[in-house]
Amino acid sequence: MALQTTPATSPPVDAPRSPYRRTRSTRSNYEMYAWLFTRISGVLLVVMVLVHLFVNLVAGDGINQVDFGFVAGKWANPFWQVWDLLLLWLAMLHGTIGVRTIINDYTERNSTRMVLKTLLWTAFAVTVLLGTLVIFTFDPCPVGAAAADLPSFCPSAA
């Protein structure tokens, strides 16, 4: 039996009609950054909430210590103001991005999606604004408060 031989050259291949051109994407990576932020903020929130619960409910006299004077004394320290502010902002942004993802996944009509996301971001803005305002304008020594309710560093508590 004789072996068949193949020709030395193959027939030429025609160029594709619409050659693939790699172009730079014009869309942003917002979804990737939102996903990444949600993961990182989730881990940070677990740590921050555990510290918050320990300081407020376990350390010292436990739950019995939490009253106006305790919060006033805690917020007299700028560290705890920033801690609680960061906790508020992270929790609100983390939750808002999560709910935004649910709205995007389960809302079929664009108009409904827009209304729901507008309501969501409005609620986010109002809550963050009011929470920030409360943290930074909180008066630990209000005039006219009973001395027993005030923290020990207030002049009228002595």
User: What is residue 152's predicted lDDT score, i.e. its pLDDT?
Assistant: 72
User: What is residue 88's predicted lDDT score, i.e. its pLDDT?
Assistant: 96
Q: Which CATH class for the 31-140 domain?
A: mainly alpha
User: What is residue 48's predicted lDDT score, i.e. its pLDDT?
Assistant: 95
Of how many residues is the chain composed? 158
Q: Where are the domains of the chain?
A: 31-140
Dig out the tokens for 137 from the structure: 């304008």
User: What is residue 26's predicted lDDT score, i.e. its pLDDT?
Assistant: 62
User: What is residue 129's predicted lDDT score, i.e. its pLDDT?
Assistant: 97
User: What is residue 20's predicted lDDT score, i.e. its pLDDT?
Assistant: 60
User: What is residue 56's predicted lDDT score, i.e. its pLDDT?
Assistant: 84
Render pLDDT for 25-45 as a digit per residue (tens, 0 to 9): 666 788 899 999 999 999 999
φ/ψ of residue 6, rounded to 5 = -100, 155
pTM of the shown model = 0.72
User: What is residue 148's predicted lDDT score, i.e. its pLDDT?
Assistant: 74
DSSP line for 91-140: HHHHHHHHHHHHHHHH--SHHHHHHHHHHHHHHHHHHHHHHHHHHHH--S
pLDDT under 50 in the chain at which residues? none
For residue 121, the 8-state DSSP code is H
DSSP SS3 for 105: helix
Alpha-carbon gap, residue 7 to 89, rounded angstroms: 72
User: What is residue 98's predicted lDDT score, i.e. its pLDDT?
Assistant: 95
